[in-house]
Each structure stands twice: as C-alpha cells, then as structure tokens.
Amino acid sequence: MKRFILFSKFVFAQFILLVFIFTHTACAVEPIINSETQLEHGVEVVSVKGDWNYQIITARVPYIGIEGDNKTGLARLVVPVRQLKENNKLPAFCHVHYEKDIGGAKKWAKNGWLVSTAVYTPADGESPIDAALGNGYNLARAIIQWIKRIPIVDKTHILIDGGSQGGYMALAMSADLFPVIATHADVPVVNWAYNFAYFEANRGIAGVGKPIDQSPMPVLASVIGLADMCYKYFPKDLNHECWHYLSPISYLNLITNPVMITCATGDMLVPIEQMTQKYVREYDTQQFPEGFTRDFKNLPFCSLSKKVFEELIPEDNYEIFLLQPQKNSFEITREMLINNKLKPKARPETADKPWSKTKQWSLVYLDEGGPSPVAGHTKLEWALSPDSFTEYYKTASLSPSVLTVDKLEHLLRRYNGEMERQILLNNGNPAQRLNYPQLEQLDVLISLSEFARISEEHKKHLEETYEQSSIKPFGSSINEYLLKKATI
C-alpha cells in the first residue's frame, strides 16, 4: 500500500508537470498579437511566452528619434488571457518611461488591463534607456501608437501611468495623444526649468560620485546626472525658453482628460515647490550642507516658467487631498538606504488614493513635513495605490468634452506633419517629436474615428469642433465615413 501511495504521488506530480509545460507551451505557440508585416515601419513581435493566465509579448518598435534618425526600441505587453476571452477587447494600462517589471504589470493585468511598458537593454544593447526629454519621449509615444493599432485593445480606454520622469511622460503623452481616458502621474516633473535650476544650484554640494555613506545628499546626488543627459540635446542655459516649452506647464490646455498627480512635501528630487506655494514645508537648514536651496522665487531660470502649477489651472477644476503620514510610517534613514533590511518590520498597509469624480485634476499631496538630506521622492515610508481611480476609468464613458478645439488642432497638425512648436536642439535642428508620416496619420485617424463611434453625441461633437478648427485637412467638414475611408 505504501508503494502504491508513493507511486500515485509520483504520477500526480508528473501530471502536474505536464500540464504546466503544456499550458506554457500552448500559449507561446499561438500569439494573441502578431507582427505588423503589412505596415511599413510596423512593429515586430520578437517573443511570446505563456504564463498561466497571461501572455507576455516582447516586440521591436521602430520610431524616429529626436534627431530625426531611424531607431528601434523594445516594448513588453502583459495580456490577461481569460479576461480577453470574456470581453473580446481590453482597456490598456500604458506605463511610460521606466520599465515596469512583469510582476508589477500583473497587478494591473489581473484586473483586466492589457499592460504595456518599454523594455531596456544595457548601454551597448539595442534599446538603452534615454532621458525622458530625449528619445525616451519618442519611444513612449511610438509604443502607445502601436497599442492603439492592436485589434484587441479598446482604444477609448487608454490609461497612462508613470512616476518621476515617467510622471512627466504620463502628462506629456496625455497632451500629445488622444483619446486618453485618465492619467496617473506620480511625483512628475512639471517644470524642467525650475527642476534643473534646483539641480545645478546644489550640484557642487550634493556629493555626486560619492558612496551613500559619504554623500551629504545621496539620492539627489545620484539623479543630477539626468540634467547632463538632457544637455546633450538642449542648451545648458536654463534661462532659455526651450525649458519652458519642454515642460507640462506650457501645454496644460492639451491635457483634457482626468488626471491624478501625487507629490510629497519632503521630495528631494522633484520639489513640491513647482506645484504649490501653500503646501511648501520648512526644513531644518542645519541638517543640510551650507548653500542648499530649493527656493522657487529666487533660483535663476526661464522667466516664462516662474509660475507654479496651481496658478495655471482654474481653481474650480482641481481638488487637493492633503494626506497625513500613515500608521506605521517611518522616516527613511541613511542606514536604510544602505541596507533595506534595516527598515522596521511594521510597515504601512497599502491604502487607496483619494480622487475627485467632479474635477479634472486630483492633486494628492503627502504632508510629511520638510525634506531631509537623505530623502528621495519621499521622506517617509508610504504605501498608496490608485486602485479605485484605475478601476473606475477601466469602464467609465469617455466624455465628449475631452475633445477641445485646441486638442483637435493639435491632432490635425500632427496629421499634416507639423509640430506644435519647434524647439531647437543644440545642433540647430528642430527636435523631432513626430513618428513616420503614415503612422502619424493613421494614429490621428484611429483616434478621431474611435471617438466618433462611441455615440451620436460624440460624432456630433467632433463635427462641431472640426467646424471651429482653423486647420481642415479633410475639407470643410468631417464625418465618420470620411475618417473610415481615409483609414483604408
């Protein structure tokens, strides 16, 4: 009997192993998404892997670089197979700039999102990471344009997500592309002129290049090199107007969808001073090296950028949520930076971020007092997630009001191969922000046709907005039939 039981266990284990292998192999054999072989400069699927309920797809994405050169980048999709079978189409959770690992992507995929992210190689590989203001921007928009061409994607439910440089990118992509159902931007740079002026003012005292245990401001010191990556393309003179026009504060009129922004009063990398004057907290100057400053009013940078974010959006269009430290929160110390295991075992429980259903802008401010020298984006340990925000916009109806005259004219300029504003590179040439002409036109046509198909109200709104536009590439009027014909 004992031998029989052991044999039965062995057979069962082998059966489970075979099921595992079959499941994973079967998913890899039949890709849900294929290469765009019929499209010039189309995306090439390079690997497909089955992972239980998920299909993980890696693809090569051609795009035009900021200097006008032909480039390729890599992107990864995590597709929830069961939810796709149930719904036929999936909303897209587009994580921009920094690479989201597969585990992090699955958090959203298990809730029914198709999740996209850029994938990066080492510096000598095919697709190394570049600054968000450089080729990072062009790759991010090329990936989202591809997402909108995928048949299984619900083009009217595209949510853009990112943090830090990626937070900036989430805002930038929301301005540039359409339609976007919602945006989640963590600690975004909204004012590059101020942020780099802050970097430069403290470059000499931050301890750049020193070990964590010796650097006066170790996390700040580790990111100051980002400015140098951007000076490769744009003038080092932060009074130059290009830094204003590169910043989200210069194109807020093009961000028309609901947005959640999270900032911290103790942020040492993206100071909250660029967002607000009211919630700036004092800090102990004795803790910092002599000469440390983050003074928005007195730092030297482009005069066009001398307004904080809150001054640039209508007061009745945003709501501020001031969050106090969570239970079991603690201040992050230098020792914890060196050894993460030194953090207390008792941690904050993950809480849902608050947001407004009636205001376009939900501004979530983490009130943790003034910054400390060793802080990164936060001084304290926090555990927050935009769960209800993302869940709501997974199925919420796209409002007709997201298509404004400014937004439509921006899209029509793209269709015509024109950039909103030409920003010159150090070499004297304009920074290229458009993709290949046929892909730009196709993206605009997909955007407007999908919008028009939502309802008669959306179709009528498009027609009326087009009549008000000063740019009319489709003649005196526009309609769904014309867009459909143009797509073909």
Query: Is residue 400 scored above 60 in pLDDT?
Result: yes
- Which carries the bigger pLDDT value, residue 483 or residue 55? 55
Position 197, amino acid:
A
**d(C-alpha 152, C-alpha 159), whole Å:** 15
**d(C-alpha 84, C-alpha 90), whole Å:** 6
Q: Identify the bridge partners of residue 78 per DSSP, sorted by sequence position.
A: 56, 115
pLDDT at 485 (0 to 100): 66
Which CATH architecture best describes the domain 44-395?
Answer: 3-Layer(aba) Sandwich (3.40)
Query: Is residue 316 scored above 70 in pLDDT?
Result: yes
Which of 384-394 are b and which e, b meaning 16 or more Cβ less than 10 Å from the residue's Cβ?
bebeebbeebb
235-288 pLDDT, tens per residue? Answer: 999 999 999 999 999 999 999 999 999 999 999 999 999 999 999 999 999 999
User: Strand 182-186 vs strand 153-163: parallel, antiparallel, or unpaired?
Assistant: parallel
pLDDT at 11 (0 to 100): 40
Q: How far is CA 265 from CA 82, 207, 295, 380, in A?
A: 42, 22, 14, 10
Q: Identify the bridge partners of residue 94 per DSSP, sorted by sequence position.
A: 116, 160
- Which carries the bigger pLDDT value, residue 211 or residue 484? 211
Query: Is residue 488 scored above 80 in pLDDT?
Result: no
The mean of the pLDDT values for the chain is 94
Token pair of 155 as six digits: 């083009």
178-192 pLDDT, tens per residue? Answer: 999 999 999 999 999
The single residue listed with the structure tokens 């209508």 is 314
Give the lowest-confidence range in 6-20, 312-326, 388-402. Answer: 6-20
Query: What is the helix, strand, coil percentage profile of the chain, to 5?
Result: 40, 15, 45
Cross-sheet strand order for the sheet of 70-80: 44-51, 54-64, 70-80, 114-119, 90-95, 153-163, 182-186, 259-264, 361-366, 318-323
Average of per-residue pLDDT across 301-320 = 98
Q: Is the pTM here over 0.75, yes or no?
A: yes
pLDDT at 147 (0 to 100): 99
Token pair of 147 as six digits: 């997402």
Percentage of the chain with pLDDT > 90?
90
- Where exactly are the structural domains of the chain? 44-395, 403-487
Average of per-residue pLDDT across 291-311 = 98
pLDDT at 483 (0 to 100): 73
